[in-house]
Structure formats: C-alpha cells, structure tokens
C-alpha cells in the first residue's frame, strides 16, 4: 500500500508528516495527536450562528460553508485533524431515499426499505452526486496543507442499512435484524442491500480521497447492537470489502463503533489501520483485544467533558498512561461531543494531551 506522507515537518525526517498521520501508521510522534468526534456541532457558538441561517443539509451541500465550519472548529480547538463537515446519511439521497432531520427527532427516512423490491429499486450509479463533499474537502485540504490531517468519512454498511430499514434511529433494530435473518444471501434483500451500499460507499470514498482526504473514518456507530456471531455471519465480510477497497486508494482507514468490547477482535480482522474505541472499557484492554500491531483511537467518555477540570484531567491522564507511550494512539472521545458541552473543557483536553509526558 502506498501511503501519502506529505512534506517533512519542522521536526525533521524523524517526525515527517503530520502527527495524526504518523500515529495512524504507528510511527513515533512528538506528542499524542488529538481530535474529537463531532468537533463541529451545536455545542459551539460559531456553528450555531451558521445554523441560524442554514439547515444541516444546506451546510453540507455548500462546499464553502462546509469547509468554513470544518476549519473554524479545528482551529478553535487546536486539534491535530479536521473531519469534513458532512453527515452519515448523505449517500441515501443518490440511492433514491429521501430523508430529513427533524428537530429533536434526529433523521427520518420517508419511505424505509422493508422488502426485497425496495432493495432492488435502490440505485448505485449516482455516487458522483456527492461531489459537493469532495469540493469541501478540497478547500479544507488547501487550507491546512500538511499542518493537520484531513479526515473524510462514511457510514459502515450495517449502520447505514439500519437507518434505511428502520427509517431513523432505533432502540432494538427489529426490522433490520428481521431482514438480516430472513434474507441473508447476496441474491436476497440483506446481502444485496449491503453489496449496494459497499458499491456506493466505495465510490463516495474515492471522491473524498481524490479531493485530498488523508484518512477515511468508517462509522459503524450502531454495530454494538449485534451479537458477535451475527456480526461475523452477516456484516463482517462486506465491511471488510469496503475497508480493503478504501485502503487500495492509498489511505489508512479508521473503523469506529460504539459498545464494541465484544467485537473488537473481529473488527480488527477487517484489516482497518486504526480501530476507534468507545469509553466503556479501559483503553489498554481495548488495545489488547485489537492487537498492538494496529493503531487505536479513543476513548474518553464525552460526558466527562461536563466534569470539573480536575476530574477531567485525571481521566485524560488515565487514558494516556494506558496507552503507555506506544506508537499508534490517537486521543479522541469514545463517541461524539453532545450539545451543551463547555468548549473551554474541550480546549483544555487538547492542552492536557499535548503537554502530557509519560514519565510525569
Ligand atoms: O465535526 C463533526 O464530526 C461534524 C460532522 C458530522 C455530522 N454528522 C454533522 C451533524 C459527522 C462526522 C456526522 C456523522 C454521523 N451522522 C453519525 C456517525 C457519528 C456518530 O455519532 O456515531 C451518525 C450516526 C449520524 C446521523 C445523525 N446526524 C444523527 C443521529 C443526527 C441527530 C442527532 C442529534 O444530535 O440531533 C444527526 C444530525 C447532525 N449531523 C448534527 C451534526 C452537527 C446535529 C444536528 C444539527 O446541526 O442540526
């Protein structure tokens, strides 16, 4: 695999490339790199100001705005990577499914996918309609050059399938699992749906990589709803295919899920370069399950950002000690920042991570 490493940084050859990219590739770094899931969002006044005048989807579809929101958040926080402002559900539209974000409800898909006929009707030939995300990435990459890592992203096949089938967020995933158990093979609904998603997501990631994304993060946010044997039997193979296809484009892949303690070993077997860990398990245990031959990202509880700074600092240091100075740790949360989070606490975490020395 050919990796884009960029220009040598000021630190000389030994620290060439951005801190974030080096950690993804398990190379030594001068400081642990840090960024946050949902670092651009409603907890930040600058984002709320933009949202007063534009809907979420409008921001996503106007590259100028999406780039501005991405850059503003990364600069305000002083993080080592910028994740492109977009949403997991954007690929549903070119596949033929309309959705909207309803205030307080989250995403709603108007005509959820429930039958084999619904799956056959989904289109896979219009990923190029998502070009607006690539144009936003171009702007962000031109702005940061090699200073920060630029992260493109997409949903994983299971998590996106669950939105398409349930029609929105779900507690028990009953419709999703029903389709999975009833029609699992490539020629029936579930297998065909995942294959179609892999086809569209591969092209979507290609647009993002060609536009300058250094890394692709694949969000399998709801994979923790699956038993290990179901993950193995119905989800692992198409997910692995997507991850391998993106790696073939020459960029590392971060594979992230929530409530994954029982799935980590198998998630690592997809071959992803970095595994995102949630906060329910200490980082060293998670890393052991993933295997030390792979990088990890995580894993502070996002709600700890509401704690007094002394407690926050204890938790941040615990995580850094658990990482043990080993190459290949990217500091992050175990899931996204929520509305109401104090921005100063997020900024304080960046400082704590950057100032941390293992021998202190
Ligand atoms: O800096 C960033 O990370 C922002 C970019 C971003 C958004 N969505 C914008 C957004 C990213 C990386 C996502 C990914 C995403 N979208 C995921 C995976 C990440 C995760 O949390 O597991 C998921 C599951 C979605 C689907 C989604 N989008 C939901 C469930 C919601 C509603 C939840 C809520 O908090 O209301 C959204 C809306 C959304 N996407 C917001 C943002 C900033 C908040 C709503 C808004 O601004 O109107």
User: What is the DSSP secondary-structure string of 66-105?
Assistant: HHHHHHHHHHHHT-SEEE-S--TTTTHHHHT--EEEETTT
pLDDT given for residue 131 in this prediction: 98
CA distance 119 to 106: 23
Cβ neighbours of residue 139 under 8 Å, at least 6 residues apart?
Answer: 63, 64, 67
Weakest-pLDDT range from 6-10, 105-109, 121-125 = 6-10
pLDDT given for residue 11 in this prediction: 39
Q: Which active-site residues does the annotation give?
A: 38, 42, 51, 87, 163
193 within domain boundaries: no
Distance of CA 86 from the midpoint of ligand 1 (Å): 8
pLDDT given for residue 15 in this prediction: 58
| Atom of ligand 1 at shortest range from CA of 70 | 1
* Confidence class for position 184, pLDDT limits 50, 70, 90: confident
> Residues with beta carbon inside 6 Å of ligand 1?
37-42, 51, 56, 83, 85, 87-89, 101, 106-107, 153, 169, 219, 221, 336
34 within domain boundaries: yes
Pairing of strands 106-109, 99-102: antiparallel
Q: Number of structural domains, the chain?
A: 1
79 within domain boundaries: yes
294 Ramachandran zone, left/alpha/beta (phi>0; psi -120 to 50): beta
Weakest-pLDDT range from 4-8, 14-18, 65-69, 161-165 = 4-8
294 within domain boundaries: yes
Average pLDDT along the chain = 94
- Percent of the residues in the chain that have a pLDDT greater than 70, as a whole number: 95
pLDDT digit string, tens, across residues 222-262: 999 999 999 999 999 999 999 999 999 999 999 999 999 99
41, 8, 40: which is closest to 27 by C-alpha?
A: 8
Element (H, E) at 191: helix 189-210
Length of the chain: 360
Q: Determine the structural domain holding residue 61 and report its residue range.
A: 19-96+130-153+201-221+243-355
Task: Report whether 25 contacts 3 (CB < 8 A).
Answer: yes
Provide the CATH number for the domain around residue 280. 3.20.20.210
* Confidence class for position 106, pLDDT limits 50, 70, 90: confident
**Mean pLDDT value of segment 153-172:** 97
186 within domain boundaries: no
265 within domain boundaries: yes
Query: Which residue is listed with tokens 């219009």?
Result: 126
292 within domain boundaries: yes
Tokens standing for 192?
């065909």
pLDDT given for residue 358 in this prediction: 79
pTM above 0.85, yes or no: yes
CA distance 198 to 203: 9
pLDDT digit string, tens, across residues 329-346: 999 999 999 999 999 999
**Mean pLDDT value of segment 181-191:** 84
- Whether residue 103 has pLDDT greater than 90: no
Task: Report whether 60 contacts 50 (CB < 8 A).
Answer: no
* Confidence class for position 360, pLDDT limits 50, 70, 90: low
**Mean pLDDT value of segment 100-115:** 92
Atom 40, ligand 1: which residue's CA is nearest? 87
2 within domain boundaries: no
pLDDT given for residue 13 in this prediction: 47
- Residue 34's DSSP bridge partners are 331
């Amino acid at each position: 695999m050919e990796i884009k490493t960029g220009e040598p940084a000021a630190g000389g050859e030994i620290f060439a490339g951005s801190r974030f990219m080096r950690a993804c590739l398990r190379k030594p770094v001068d400081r642990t790199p840090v960024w946050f899931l949902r670092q651009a969002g409603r907890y930040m006044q600058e984002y709320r100001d933009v949202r007063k005048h534009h809907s979420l989807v409008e921001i996503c579809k106007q590259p100028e705005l999406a780039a501005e929101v991405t850059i503003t958040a990364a600069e305000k926080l002083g993080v080592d990577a910028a994740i492109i402002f977009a949403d997991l559900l954007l690929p549903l539209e070119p596949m033929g499914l309309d959705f909207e974000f309803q205030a307080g409800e989250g995403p709603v898909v108007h005509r959820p996918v429930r039958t084999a006929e619904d799956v056959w009707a989904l289109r896979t030939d219009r990923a190029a309609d998502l070009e607006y995300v690539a144009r936003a990435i171009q702007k962000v990459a031109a702005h940061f050059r090699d200073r920060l890592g630029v992260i493109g992203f997409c949903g994983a096949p299971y998590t996106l399938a669950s939105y398409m089938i349930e029609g929105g967020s779900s507690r028990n995933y009953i419709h999703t699992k029903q389709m999975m158990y009833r029609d699992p093979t490539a020629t029936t609904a579930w297998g065909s749906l995942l294959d179609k998603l892999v086809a569209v997501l591969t092209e979507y990631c290609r647009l993002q990589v060609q536009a300058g994304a250094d890394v692709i993060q694949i969000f399998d946010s709801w994979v923790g709803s699956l038993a290990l044997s179901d993950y193995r039997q119905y989800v692992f193979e198409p997910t692995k295919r997507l991850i391998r296809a993106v790696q073939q484009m020459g960029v590392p892949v971060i594979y992230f899920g929530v409530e994954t303690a029982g799935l980590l070993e198998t998630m690592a077997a997809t071959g992803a370069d970095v595994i995102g860990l949630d906060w329910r398990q200490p980082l060293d245990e998670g890393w052991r399950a993933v295997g030390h031959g792979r990088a990890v990202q995580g894993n502070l509880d996002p709600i700890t950002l509401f704690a007094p700074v002394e407690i926050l600092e204890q938790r941040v240091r615990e995580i850094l000690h658990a990482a043990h100075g080993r190459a290949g740790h990217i500091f992050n949360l175990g899931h996204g920042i929520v509305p109401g989070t104090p921005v100063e606490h997020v900024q304080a975490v960046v400082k704590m991570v950057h100032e941390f020395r293992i021998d202190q």
